[in-house]
Chain A
Amino acid sequence: MAIVALEALEALVGRPFPGGTYTVEPYQNWLTNDVVLAPQRDDDLAHPMYCYYAALAGMGISLDELFALAHASADDGVMFGEAEIELVGPMRVGVTYSVRGSFTSVVRKEGKKAGVFDILAFALELVDPAGDVVGVSTNSFVFPRRDG
């Protein structure tokens, strides 16, 4: 993907996501445990990675749309940079969480092999029905840029 004006990316910082809600359905938690080789449980504890899954599913835009905001697409070799989940308490199957958040930073770097790339970070909060933040998912994606 061609190099994008940094100002266009910096304009994203502070921009809120549309947000939404997400409910961890029992079959989704079962499938997730199966995929990531976690033991199946007989209680209502969701896999902790739902702090990430629910945040991204409920942020109100798709990954394709997020990539488009960064002037990229899934075919451009977009990579995960860093990811953080912070859990005040466990996430639970069957509970509907509200998701809210915004873009938090953009950094442009250049490497000898990688060339120019941009790192776009965003943070998403998961709010339970009582209004308490139970989790925060902070992530960054790396967008390779090439001349042309």
Chain B
Amino acid sequence: MTPARGVAIGDELPQLVIERVDAEKMKTMAALLRDPNPIHLDPTVVVALGMGTAVVNQGPNNMAYVVNMLAAWAGGPDRIAKLRVRFLANVFSGDRLVAGGTVTGIDGERVMCDVWLARDGTEPVLAGTAVTRPFFVSTAAPGAGLDTKNETT
């Protein structure tokens, strides 16, 4: 295994903050996904089910926040190779979320990470692992990496 340039095991990924989860965006996603679950739309259903008082964010939305955090760090959405998550708790409209992660391994151009999403940065709602191909990581000779691709144009 060749050490990757620019990344070290134990590095903390830059955190991404979602200041307020928006109920209106859940409605848009429900329409996009044809998701029939009323807990994303109707707070009276959430109350009736004893799940709280605010509508529940779609799980994939929570996963997407982690994707965004990874993409921002790695250099784009095309730098994400794998993301596996467990959903630990519901996220509700109005919640403030923080997404983050830690580098756990490096294998050539692939960087493995533990990732998480937490309410107020403290209460875990999602946890998982990711594999990325950060643009700034290359085992090629200096100057031959992806970050120099525009120099020949």
Give A residues with C-beta under 8 Å from B. 28, 31-32, 34-38, 41, 45-49, 52-53, 56-57, 62-64, 74-75, 77-87, 89-90, 138
Contact = CB atoms under 8 A, between A and B. Distances in A.
A62 B29 CA distance: 15
A83 B84 contact: yes
Contacts of B67: 36, 38, 47-49
Interface of B: 18, 25-26, 28-29, 32-38, 49, 59-61, 63-65, 67-68, 71, 76-78, 80-87
Given A36-B61, A77-B49, A82 B33 contact: no
Contacts of B28: 31, 34-35
B60 A52 contact: yes
B84 to A, nearest CB: 4
B64 A45 contact: no
A82 B64 CA distance: 14
A35 B85 contact: no
Nearest to A75: B38
B31 to A, nearest CB: 9
Contacts of B64: 32, 36, 38, 47, 49
Nearest to B76: A45
A81 to B, nearest CB: 7
Contacts of A83: 59-60, 63, 84-85, 87
B70 to A, nearest CB: 8
Contact of B85 (A34, A53, A84, A89): A84
